[in-house]
Amino acid sequence: MIDAAPHRPEAYRRERLDAADALRRSHAFLELMRTRRSIRSFAPEPVPLELVLDAVRVAGSAPSGANQQPWRFEVVTDPGLKRRLRAAAEREERLLYERRAGPEYLRAIRPIGTDWSKPHITEAPCLVVAFEQPWREEDGDRHKHYYVRESVGIAVGFLLCALHNSGLGTLTHAPSPMGFLRELLGRPEHERPFLLIAVGYPAEEATVPSLPRKSLAEIANVDGRPAGERR
């Protein structure tokens, strides 16, 4: 529980890198993140739990609206629980693919090659389920949290970067609907499932779809011009 306290500033100290070192670090991190892909085939070997918990600690360092830190991460390694989660997810996903999803959505995901079957839920040695907390109960009253989805989205981004930095593969999955995650994991009413993330080492035979990335000029402007465009 985050107590509402008066503003108490404290000094912030961090070593400033020289320009050349900063650029080297920047390029190295870019190259690392360019190797990140969504993995759908996982090796059976277990993942050191401390790697996952360190990644959760990194997620917990993310900024959040009013510093309310409206997130909860459930780490699941129990095979029986993973089987129940997979059965529930596949039940919802089958309905999505066969009845609920429109043709436009099905066309959009065709290049990814997915269907209602979700073997990664049981094959991955570890799952991390992110929950968002739109409110909290305090002294018998309900208190709203602010910028919840933005905050949890940033925290999940931190989590994915940290897991990749540790040499682990991930697959983000948002079953539709996701209410079964709260029920099976025993989370309280004020927590809503945000994302299910399979975590593990990529299998030797793992493949990924050949998909293009947008160029820098397509995703960023500098002073109103596409990045990289000469004046």
What single string gives the DSSP state of each residue in 102-157? -HHHHHHHGGGT--S--THHHHSSEEEEEEE-SEEEETTEEEE-SSHHHHHHHHHH
Asked if residue 127 is part of any domain, the answer here is yes
Asked if residue 9 is part of any domain, the answer here is no
Kindly give the confidence (pLDDT) of every residue in the chain, 231 residues in length, as a single tens digit, with 9 standing for 90 and above.
455 678 899 999 889 999 999 999 999 999 999 999 999 999 999 999 999 999 999 999 999 999 999 999 999 999 999 999 999 999 998 988 888 888 898 888 888 888 889 999 999 999 999 999 999 988 888 999 999 999 999 999 999 999 999 999 999 999 889 999 999 999 999 999 999 999 999 999 999 989 899 999 999 999 999 998 765
Q: Supply the pLDDT for residue 1.
A: 46
Give residue 193's domain range: 39-201
Asked if residue 28 is part of any domain, the answer here is no
Q: Supply the pLDDT for residue 23.
A: 97
Helix axes 49-59, 148-165, angle to 10 degrees: 140
Cα–Cα dist 25/23, whole Å = 5
Q: Supply the pLDDT for residue 230.
A: 64
Asked if residue 91 is part of any domain, the answer here is yes
Q: Supply the pLDDT for residue 35.
A: 95
Q: Could you tell me the sign of the dihedral formed by the alpha carbons of 161, 201, 185, 101, in that order?
A: positive
Q: Supply the pLDDT for residue 112.
A: 81
Asked if residue 135 is part of any domain, the answer here is yes
Domain count, the chain: 1
Residue by residue, DSSP assigns 68-91 as ---EEEEEE--HHHHHHHHHHHHH
Cα–Cα dist 36/169, whole Å = 8
Q: How far apart are the first and last CA of the chain?
A: 51
3-state DSSP percent of the chain in helix, strand and coil, to 5: 40, 20, 40
Q: Could you tell me the sign of the dihedral formed by the alpha carbons of 46, 49, 50, 53, in that order?
A: positive
Tokens of 159: 């989590």
Asked if residue 51 is part of any domain, the answer here is yes
The DSSP H or E segment spanning 23 is helix 19-34
- What is the CATH classification number for the domain harbouring 189? 3.40.109.10
Q: What's this model's pTM, rounded to 2 decimal places?
A: 0.91
Asked if residue 216 is part of any domain, the answer here is no
Nearest to 48 by CA among 159, 121, 156, 126: 126
Asked if residue 20 is part of any domain, the answer here is no
